[in-house]
Amino acid sequence: MPIKQLQEEIIKLKQEQDVVILAHYYQPIEIQEIADFIGGSLKLSRTAKENVNTEYIIFAGVDFMAETASIINPEKHVLIPNYEACCPMAAFLTPEMVKEFKKEHPGLPVVVYVNSTAAVKAESDICCTSANAVKIVKNISQEFNVEAVLFGPDANLADYAEQISNIKTIKMPDKGHCYVHSQITADDIKTVKEKYSKAELLVHPECIRDVRELADYVGSTTHMYNYVKERSPEINEFIIGTEVGLLERMAQDFPKKNFYLAKDKLICYQMKKHNLELIEYLLKNLDDKAFEVKVPPEIAKRAINPIEKMLDFS
């Protein structure tokens, strides 16, 4: 079926039922176009908690995002179009590792990036996203009256939070990273800046420090989007150092501005595992349990506190 026709069919099915579709900025653009809410991970968590009144939520994002929505909405059915959409960063940190780090550093708070498993969140004091990591690190270190925190699994975001907050972040583990962002090198940036010398460079905090230091702006997906939106009309060229889906969103929303990717193929293949056909299937089969995201209650019971604490703090 042609894309437009499938999108119309999805919109019709959606209107007939008690369901909303949430989509992350990294989703294929044809999915973003049929979503009720589009955003970064913090904005989508907030939306799932505060703005959604339907019985069903279709979450077009990766597993940890849908799990988070399910944990904070235990009474709703959260469905993921393709359950193979799993963020590989989460595999860098297990609950056993967190327990070991806690033993080695008694008294330090544990900050866990939402890009982690629910079982890891359950071992933490507070969660964070890339939009609020600096604030969370500052607030929790004050609450515990300490000068350092344990932080995982992204060592680059931990490094960024440490640089800005002046609070030491002990990385759990040293090398946790996102393969999409950490592939961007300072040489890539020099090449792209030579090509587009008037463009401003915006990068995600999951990028390595050498890349972040060349940027005009470092921020989460939502922060980058808002930065472009609020920039004066004379500034109309931007190099984007994050997944291509955000660039596609901005190109549609700000047609007078030009966007260039920091390097070719900045694609999160896990985010791209969803498609319109799978969403159409779900809309016709909302009760298909194979697609419902359920966190075991004993883990969900412990993971909800650090997530709620993050939402309260930010």
Radius of gyration from C-alpha coordinates of the chain: 19
27 forms part of the interface with ligand SF4 (CB under 6 A) = no
Give me the least distance between CB of 312 and ligand 13P, in Å please. Answer: 18
Q: Which residue is nearest to ligand 13P (CB)?
A: 40
Give me the least distance between CB of 283 and ligand 13P, in Å please. Answer: 25
The option from ligand SF4, ligand 13P, none interacting with 117 (CB < 5 to 8 A, set by class) reads: none
What is the distance in angstroms between the CA of the first residue and the CA of the last residue of the chain?
Answer: 43
Distances in Å between the Cα of 260 and the Cα atoms of 47, 95, 201, 211 are: 29, 39, 9, 16
DSSP 34: T
**Residue 34 φ/ψ, nearest 5 degrees:** -105, 5
224 forms part of the interface with ligand SF4 (CB under 6 A) = no
Give me the least distance between CB of 205 and ligand SF4, in Å please. Answer: 11
Angle, vertex CA 74, rays to CA 66 and CA 77, nearest 5: 60
Q: Give dist(CA 90, CA 305) in Å, integer.
A: 19
60 forms part of the interface with ligand SF4 (CB under 6 A) = no
271 forms part of the interface with ligand SF4 (CB under 6 A) = yes
Q: Strand pairing of 168-171 and 37-39?
A: unpaired
Burial zone of 30 (CB within 10 Å; 0-12 exposed, 13-18 middle, 19+ buried): middle
Give me the least distance between CB of 268 and ligand SF4, in Å please. Answer: 3
Give me the least distance between CB of 115 and ligand 13P, in Å please. Answer: 5
For residues 102 to 141, the per-residue mask of contacts with ligand SF4, x marking binding by CB under 6 A and - elsewhere, is -------------x--------------------------
* Cis peptide, bond prior to residue 205, ω within 30 of zero: no
Give me the least distance between CB of 275 and ligand SF4, in Å please. Answer: 17
157 forms part of the interface with ligand SF4 (CB under 6 A) = no
89 forms part of the interface with ligand SF4 (CB under 6 A) = yes
The DSSP result for 100-160, as a single string, is HHHHHSTT--EEEESSS-HHHHHT-SEEE-TTTHHHHHHHHHHHHT-SEEEEES-HHHHHH
Number of chain residues interacting with ligand SF4 (CB under 6 A): 11
Give me the least distance between CB of 15 and ligand 13P, in Å please. Answer: 27
Instruction: Report 228-267 residues binding ligand SF4 (CB under 6 A).
Output: 243
Q: Which residues bind ligand 13P (CB under 6 A)?
A: 40-42, 115, 129-131, 178, 206, 220-221
Q: Give dist(CA 80, CA 288) in Å, integer.
A: 11
Tell me the sheet residues that pair with 202.
217, 240
270 forms part of the interface with ligand SF4 (CB under 6 A) = yes
Q: Give dist(CA 283, CA 8) in Å, integer.
A: 13
The option from ligand SF4, ligand 13P, none interacting with 72 (CB < 5 to 8 A, set by class) reads: none
44 forms part of the interface with ligand SF4 (CB under 6 A) = no
Q: Could you say which of 22, 178, 224, 240 contacts ligand SF4 (CB under 6 A)?
A: 178
Residue (225 or 291) nearer to ligand 13P, CB: 225
Give me the least distance between CB of 86 and ligand 13P, in Å please. Answer: 12
CB 246 within 8 A of CB 225: yes
The option from ligand 13P, ligand SF4, none interacting with 221 (CB < 5 to 8 A, set by class) reads: ligand 13P
- Binding residues for ligand SF4, rule: CB under 6 A, are 62, 87-89, 115, 178, 180, 243, 268, 270-271
